[in-house]
Amino acid sequence: MSPANLLAENQAFADWLKQQDPVAIDQQVQALEQRISPEIDCLACGNCCRSLMIVVEEAEADALSHHLNTTRAAFDAQYLEKGSSGRMVMNQMPCAFLAGNACTIYPERFSGCREFPALHLPHFNKRLFTTFMHYERCPIIREVVEALKKESGFLPHPHAQD
């Protein structure tokens, strides 16, 4: 499918999802996420760590500066800035803690890193814009969305004529 046709199909799918039962869609998305996530190797990807703006909470900055054995002032100067929303964000992209495709502070990573791509969370239908924004970036989102197109009945199931 051409990129333009895929974009149009995804827009139509997002519009269609808004008309569906949100609880049923959450159940389908969460089941697909549980099946598909383990099949995708984030260490072969790393796209989110290379291209997302990471929000850092105060407590996270405190914990990580302690973990790195540095002061908060030095940590903030090296890694943080204030985003347009007024929240603290990482000041580098790709993330300064990425080495190859791996996170060098994985046990201490930020809540936004733990949450992404957020398919395990409720209210999928309220996050359609951001989810589809990450469609090209994240193979987990891509695979879940494509499977959902079929399982939800938006696209005819390939074996429907069998």
Residue 83 binding ligand SF4, by CB under 6 A: no
CA distance 127 to 13: 13
- What's the closest the beta carbon of residue 26 comes to ligand SF4, in angstroms? 19
- What token pair was written down for 115? 């949450």
Residue 40 binding ligand SF4, by CB under 6 A: yes
- Candidates 44, 25, 21, 48; CA nearest to 138 is 48
Which CB atom, from 11 or from 111, has the smaller least distance to ligand SF4? 111
Identify whether the C-beta of residue 13 lies closer than 8 Å to the C-beta of residue 145: yes
Which CB atom, from 15 or from 115, has the smaller least distance to ligand SF4? 115
Share of the chain residues as helix, strand and coil, in percent rounded to the nearest 5: 55, 5, 40
Which CB atom, from 103 or from 145, has the smaller least distance to ligand SF4? 103
- Count CB-CB contacts under 10 A for residue 144: 27
Which CB atom, from 22 or from 127, has the smaller least distance to ligand SF4? 127
Identify whether the C-beta of residue 57 lies closer than 8 Å to the C-beta of residue 63: no
Which one among 105, 118, 121, 128 touches ligand SF4, defined by CB under 6 A? 105
- What's the closest the beta carbon of residue 160 comes to ligand SF4, in angstroms? 30
Residues contributing to the site for ligand SF4 (CB under 6 A):
40, 42, 45-49, 54, 95, 97-98, 103, 105, 109-110, 113, 116-117, 137-140
